[in-house]
Structure 1
Amino acid sequence: MPPPVPSLPDELLEEIFLRLPPGEPEHLARASLASKLWLGRLTGPCFRGRYRERHGPPPMLGFLHSTWLEGKDLFTPTTKFSARVPDEDDCGSGYHKYDAWDCRHGRVLLGDENMLPIAVVVWDPMTGRRKDLPEPDLVHDSYGAAVLCAVPGCDHRACHAGPFQVVFVGLGMGADFDWNGCVAQACVSLPEAGDWSRPCPVFDNRHWGEPCSGLHLEDDAFIGRMPPVLVKEALHFMLVYARDGHVEILKYDLRCSCLSLVDVPLVGRGIHGAAILMAMEDGSLGFAHVDGLTLHIWSREMDFNRVASWSQRTIIDLRNLLPIQNTDERLRLIGSVEGSDTVFVTTDLGIYEINVKSQRWKEIWKSEKFRALIPYMSFYNPQERVMPCDAAH
């Protein structure tokens, strides 16, 4: 009888596992099923930390989207990773048809605006856990929302199970009789308390449910349905004016809990629907616009006098870059990757991911009528999955 094959030292096993590509999570999943020893090694904090340090920013495991078509799955995997979007509450509270509002730091923000009150859910695709939030106590005819990590100084590579906060910005008719327009207000969730708090640098329980000071806007303003982008501790929403179609940027500063307006590098009709906001790789706010078959990228930066201004960064002729069959087809920008010079554009042949800096591209999906594409970026760690009813609400 031959002697048993000697096992590899733990250090060598870890070096092998570290080289498994993060964009192919099925390899880690299969390795975790080989033995309890391997499962413990792969799910241990030491390995997870080294794995993220080695591979840098997390890969895109799939994307969420809002669509004009019925019967389409909300989450589309781009790898072997799969996730079940909560649509029917297994605990028996009723049926919800959720729409994707935002995704950041390993969490997804879902909402069902067809229900009264509006159903708001924070969902972790990695574990299946969910947290139901009450509807914000704001009068809103138009709104935008964001989910983000609430841990100061976090590198956001493995924080999907930690504390989070949801920012809700609503536009509604104000109670100020001296103003005939609408008012923008914002509030921030306190998930542990299951309520909403007035956003301020130090949370004060006396202000629960009170929105921040309002910002007066014209009565035809509304927030575009594209998710906001997070740049330098501030959320940026695309603001559109219905009468003439011009756009501005509605900024919510997380540090001072205030709303303000930011100009855009383009003016005139036709901007809405052809432009998106970006969080650039260098940490600046970006503005992408497609005109015909040409992609324009601007970046907003501070000069030495602390004055912010837009500068055009690049112009890309998509006709010479992408496989476009019908040159008369109207291209649309439907999303971006925060912290990366990457945008998603639809053509008559499909949906393409383009890195603006390298001008490399790849097709990620067949042609669909998506309003917005929201990438899900995360490292996959083999672990026990939980059902929504097993998670804390």
Structure 2
Amino acid sequence: MASTAAPRRTARAPAAHTVLPDEIWEEIFLRLDAAADLARASAGCSSFRRIVSDRRFVRCFRSLHSPPVLGLIRYGYREFLPVGPPHRSTPEARALAQDADFTFSFLPDPSAWSSRDARDGRVLLSRRISAAIAFEDFLVCDPLHRRYVKIPRILDDLLAASTPDNGTARHLLPVLAPTGDNDEESFRVICTVQDKGKRKVMAFVFSSCNQTWQGIISTIYLPNGFIGCKPYSAHGCLFWMFFGKGYSLMLDTSEMKSSIIDLPPHNFDFGSMRAIVEAEDGRLGFLTIGDGTIDLYCKNWQSNGVGAQEWQHDKLIPLPKDSGINYSWDIVGTVGRYVALVAHDPICDESSPNSELFVLDIETLLVEKLCTLNNGMFCGFPYARFPPPLTLPSI
């Protein structure tokens, strides 16, 4: 009887793996939603890590994805309020709060310094030496790596040359300037001075590149009003509001030129909460808080503001209903496409009012809760992004 042999199987050659060029992987990685997803992807292999760590790629990713708000810093204090659950940035915020030193204990005499501003993961601190000195001392700190750079004091001669009428200059809030795409490791500090008598606005700029203060040549005369608040940042410019006025002072930090821009028609009383923001599609946005809602106006924008269209009402954004209609809302600050908000509960005891902190995403129009402050009214600014390292400490 003839045996039936089983059919002989031919071994298949292993399928060839398609090797994608780095340019395709870059496009894939740029479409990830968050930096945490990017970090997980970079752990896949050495080639992924090489692509993700390239400085050009990092700059491109940051230009497309605004860093999430990780917490808030109370103005004048050395205190960090990390984002809490259920916000998706809670793990990163907790890691930052655990590893960073927002009490700035690494400074000589840390209790003498007060927080004034934060940008790109760095914090600007100041201290007053004496009433006879016009300007304060400044430090730019990296709380994560525990490093700092001491800023030399503005020379009295430079101040006198810019404000010849002695005694009429008013020192305004110092701020960290927006960082350009190609100079993320450097920083600038801007101090603005307003001449009370002539309503003339000037500014002084310190650059970490040349380690000196310079007076801005571009000056501007205000129609009326005085600057009384910290500026908002959008598209590389700083925007100062005026109490009860329908215009804003804009400083283009790339060209260091000042100009006045008109705001959309609105009831600009002294109690109105307003902010300039980065809207989607490269537009400029203007926010006002009304009765339980936020009005968003937008306009097309060019870097110098020339030829921009008129403001158009774009969105009506509802505020969270579970925070109560009687809450007093305020705008804390802006970071990229995010706007930090605070709601004060008027029912709580006046000695320890309750403040709930939120963030508005201009792209999704979602308002999410960040954390709760139970021991006082909140005044401060948002903190986002892990900082790039500073130079070694210096005195």
Indicate whether the TM-score tops 0.5: yes
Unaligned runs of 5+ in 1: 1-10, 33-37, 174-179, 200-211
Output the CA distance in 2 between the equivalents of 1:45 and 1:125: 27
Output the aligned Cα RMSD.
4.1
Q: 1:214 aligns with which of 212, 219, 223?
A: 219
CA contact (8 A) 2:71 2:370 kept: no
CA contact (8 A) 2:234 2:276 kept: no
C-alpha deviations, 1:112-169, integer Å up to 9, x for none? Answer: 3576540222223342221111344446424244324665x52xxxx65x22222222
Output the CA distance in 1 between the equivalents of 2:33 and 2:227: 45
Partner SS, residue 354 of structure 1: strand
Q: 1:42 to 1:113 in 2, by over 3 A?
A: farther
Give the match for residue 176 of structure 2: 147
CA contact (8 A) 1:229 1:237 kept: no
Q: 1:74 to 1:183 in 2, by over 3 A?
A: farther
Partner SS, residue 163 of structure 1: coil
Q: 1:110 to 1:75 in 2, by over 3 A?
A: farther
Q: 2:229 aligns with which of 214, 224, 227?
A: 224
Q: 1:360 aligns with which of 331, 355, 366?
A: 366
Give the match for residue 249 of structure 1: 248
CA contact (8 A) 1:247 1:271 kept: no
Output the CA distance in 2 between the equivalents of 1:255 and 1:54: 21
Q: 1:23 to 1:345 in 2, by over 3 A?
A: farther
Give the match for residue 298 of structure 1: 297
CA contact (8 A) 2:332 2:339 kept: no
Give the match for residue 393 of structure 2: 391
Give the match for residue 177 of structure 1: none
Matches within 5 A, 1:59-70: 59-60=67-68, 62-67=70-75
2:312 counterpart of 1:314 = no
Point out the structure with max Rg over C-alpha.
2
Output the CA distance in 1 between the equivalents of 2:71 and 2:110: 26
Q: 1:45 to 1:126 in 2, by over 3 A?
A: farther
Q: 1:255 to 1:219 in 2, by over 3 A?
A: same
Output the CA distance in 1 between the equivalents of 2:58 and 2:300: 33
Partner SS, residue 250 of structure 2: strand
C-alpha deviations, 1:221-279, integer Å up to 9, x for none? Answer: 12313x43132x43222233xxxx33531111234432221121144443555112212
Give the match for residue 196 of structure 1: 213
1:172 to partner: Cα distance: 2.7
Output the CA distance in 1 between the equivalents of 2:365 and 2:342: 13
Give the match for residue 112 of structure 2: 96
Q: 1:322 to 1:22 in 2, by over 3 A?
A: farther
Q: 1:331 to 1:81 in 2, by over 3 A?
A: same
Higher-helix-fraction structure:
2
Unaligned runs of 5+ in 2: 1-18, 20-24, 84-89, 164-168, 346-354
Output the CA distance in 1 between the equivalents of 2:81 and 2:378: 12
2:132 counterpart of 1:131 = no
Output the CA distance in 2 between the equivalents of 1:188 and 1:109: 14
Output the CA distance in 2 between the equivalents of 1:100 and 1:297: 28
CA contact (8 A) 1:190 1:196 kept: yes
Give the match for residue 124 of structure 2: 109
Partner SS, residue 221 of structure 1: coil
Partner SS, residue 309 of structure 1: coil
For normalisation by structure 1, the TM-score amounts to 0.67
1:327 to partner: Cα distance: 1.9
Give the match for residue 96 of structure 2: 81
Give the match for residue 15 of structure 2: none
CA contact (8 A) 2:193 2:201 kept: yes
CA contact (8 A) 2:116 2:175 kept: no
Give the match for residue 373 of structure 1: 381
Partner SS, residue 259 of structure 1: strand
CA contact (8 A) 1:271 1:289 kept: no
